[in-house]
Structures are given as C-alpha cells and as structure tokens.
Amino acid sequence: MYEVRTLTIKCPKCGVVENLELDKSEHDFGATGLLRVGYIHKGHVFLLNVDPHFFVRGAYIVSYGAVGSDVLLYFHGYRVLGGFIVGIKTEFISLFRRANIFDVRAYPSSSAMLYEILEAIEKFLGQFAGAKLPKFTGLHGRRYRIVSCKDIVIFSPCRPQESKYKADWLGIICNILAKSEPLDVHALSKIVSYVDENIDRAPTDEDREKLMDLAYGGAGVRV
C-alpha cells in the first residue's frame, strides 16, 4: 500500500518547525508499532513517536547521547546515523555527500555540541563547493583533519598527540566507505577498534585487506 503523508510539528523547546514526510510502505514500525523520528536541534533532540496511522503518540526533548540507533535521525536535510560507539580513540564523522547522510556514530565526544559541529561542516562545505578540500580546518573551536575520496568526506578531531599515520588509516576507511553504503554498527566498530590498535605504525596492504574483510562481513545499514 502506497501512502505518503506530511506531518508538520513544532519543537516545544526551540520553536523550530519540522516537516516529516512519511511513506507507510517504506517505514518499519517495528515490534513496538511506533516509528521513532528525531531532529537534531541546538542543544537537544526533538524526538517523536509516530504510529502506523501517522498519529504522533509522543513528543520528547532528549539529549544527543540518549538517542539510540533505532531512531530515524535528521539534521536539516540530512539523515544522521546516530547511536554512539563508546570507548574508541580514533573519532570521526563521515559524510556521504550524494546521499546526504552524516554518520556520527564514531564520534561519541561530539555529543555535547553535535548541532554546532554539523552546522559548521555544512557551512564549511558550502564554501568549498566543487573545490579541493584542505587537509585541516577549524570547526566550532576545534581542529579537524579532513580526508576525502569520491563523495565521502571524513572529519576527524585532532588529538594532542596525534599519530603521523592517522591520515593514512583514515584514507583506508574513506576508500571502504566510498565503495559501500554506510556500514552497520558492528562492522564500523570493529574497523575503528582495529585502527585504534594499530594507528602508531604505517598501514600495510595486509591491513587494507583486513579492514575490507571487517567492513564486508557486515550487512550494511538501513537508512
């Protein structure tokens, strides 16, 4: 059954109006019978529970860190893959430019200022439309290394003691992402753990193969 409806909802905290376009045939209302949709606003997430008749069953204001991977998360016109992976050292946001998807799962420490960072990235990319991106930039008061490949751009916050091989490792991740859809959370988390363990040396061809295996062992993520 094909049924599309647009819901217009105003955030009770900041007053921003969101238009949610729903297609019944496309969305999974899951075991709870509710679709969970979230909007990243400044300092909070506006979270909605929508039932299969497109009635809003609940609207909540939550923190970024409280949003699980089951929430269809949005920032401006972008789909955002949330649900942070904890305990990782090599943090980054990846952007799939063609698909308009931000993957923030590998950047848990962004949780306090996610809106500001995404907004800064959007503005930054607007300035470089079509031009070659620099290797570093400042975003919301922090320095980031940029690695890009095809339509993928990775932004990784610089740490005080940075491995000189970090860009090489991020380059491999970027290549993998350029060949696939966003990775499922298990594959992504295995890749980041592998890089965390080995980042202090230069990556070899064997590492490249290993990371490919870790990536394609997964099933891909549904966006």
Does residue 83 contact residue 185 with C-beta atoms inside 8 Å? yes
| 7, 13, 65, 162: which one binds Zn ion (CB under 5 A) | 13
Alpha-carbon distances, residue 51 vs 56, 58, 66 (angstroms): 7, 10, 21
Instruction: Examine residue 190 and tell whether it contacts Zn ion (CB under 5 A).
Output: no
d(CA 30, CA 46): 20
Instruction: Examine residue 62 and tell whether it contacts Zn ion (CB under 5 A).
Output: no
Minimum distance between the CB of residue 11 and Zn ion, rounded to whole angstroms?
3
| 9, 11, 125, 223: which one binds Zn ion (CB under 5 A) | 11
Minimum distance between the CB of residue 65 and Zn ion, rounded to whole angstroms?
16
DSSP codes joined into one string, 155-170: EEE--SS--TTHHHHH
Instruction: Examine residue 46 and tell whether it contacts Zn ion (CB under 5 A).
Output: yes
Q: Using CB under 5 A, which of the segments 43-51, 115-123, 145-153, 170-178 binds Zn ion?
A: 43-51
Minimum distance between the CB of residue 8 and Zn ion, rounded to whole angstroms?
14
d(CA 138, CA 147): 14
| 14, 99, 112, 219: which one binds Zn ion (CB under 5 A) | 14
Q: Kindly tell me which of 14 and 178 has the beta carbon lying closer to Zn ion.
A: 14
What percent of the chain is helix, strand and coil (3-state, nearest 5)?
25, 30, 45
Instruction: Examine residue 102 and tell whether it contacts Zn ion (CB under 5 A).
Output: no
Minimum distance between the CB of residue 39 and Zn ion, rounded to whole angstroms?
7
- Two structure tokens written together for 162: 């940075």
Q: Using CB under 5 A, which of the segments 41-49, 85-93, 155-163, 175-183 binds Zn ion?
A: 41-49
Distance of CA 137 to the CA centre of its chain: 19
DSSP codes joined into one string, 88-102: -SS--EEEETTTTEE
Minimum distance between the CB of residue 49 and Zn ion, rounded to whole angstroms?
16
Applying CB under 5 A, the residues found at the interface with Zn ion are: 11, 13-14, 41, 46
